[in-house]
Structure 1
Amino acid sequence: MSEMKDLESGAAGAGGPGRHILILNRFDRETDCRYPRYVDHAVDRVAYIASTAGHSGVDTALAEAVGVVDDLADWQAVSKLALGIVREFGPLDHVVALFERDLEVAARLRELLDVPGPRPAEIERVRDKVTMKELVVAAGLRVPRFTDVGSPEQVARFAEETGFPVVLKPRDGSGSQGIYLINSAASLAETLASPLENYSCEEFIDATMYQVDGVVQDGAVRVLRAFRLLNTCLDYTLGQPFGSVASDDPVLEKRLAGYSEVVMAALGVRDSVFHLEVFVVDRPADPTAVPAAYDDLVFLEVAARPGGAELPHLWREVYGLDLLEVATRLTLGESPRLAPSAAGGEAGGYLLMPEPPVRPCRVVSTTSLLDRVPEMYAEVLPAPGAVLDGTGGAKETGGRYRFRAATGRDVERAVRQVIDAYELAWEPVDEGERVVRRTAGRAQSVARP
Structure 2
Amino acid sequence: MPVIELGRGLLSRGADVTVLTGRRYEDAVLRSGLTFAPLPAEVDYDDSDLEAWLPGRGAIKGLAAMRREMIGMFARVLPGQWRAVQALLAAHRFDGIIGDATFTGLAPYSSRPAAERLPVIGVSPIPVVMTSVDTGPFGLVLAPAKTAVGRLRNRALTSFLLRGPLRPIGIAVDEALAEVGEPPTTVSFYDHPYVSYDRLFQLSIAELEYPRRDLPDTVRFVGPMRHRHRVSTGVPGWWADLDSGRPVVHVSQGTMDNRDLGRVIVPTLRALADEDVLVVAATGGRPVDDVVRAMGGRLPANARVEEYVPYDELLPRCAVFVTNGGFGGVQRAIAAGLPLVVAGATEDKPEIAARVQWAGCGIDLRTGTPTPEQVRGAVRRVLADDRTRRGSEFLRDRMNALPDPVDVIWDTLAELTTAGSSRGTGQQEPTAMRRPIGPGEGWDSGLA
Measured against the shorter chain, the TM-score band is 0.3 to 0.5
- Whose relative contact order is higher, 1 or 2, with alpha carbons under 8 Å and at least 6 apart? 2
Structure 1 or 2: more strand by fraction:
1
In the superposition, the TM-score normalised over structure 1's length comes to: 0.32
Structure 1 or 2: more helix by fraction:
2
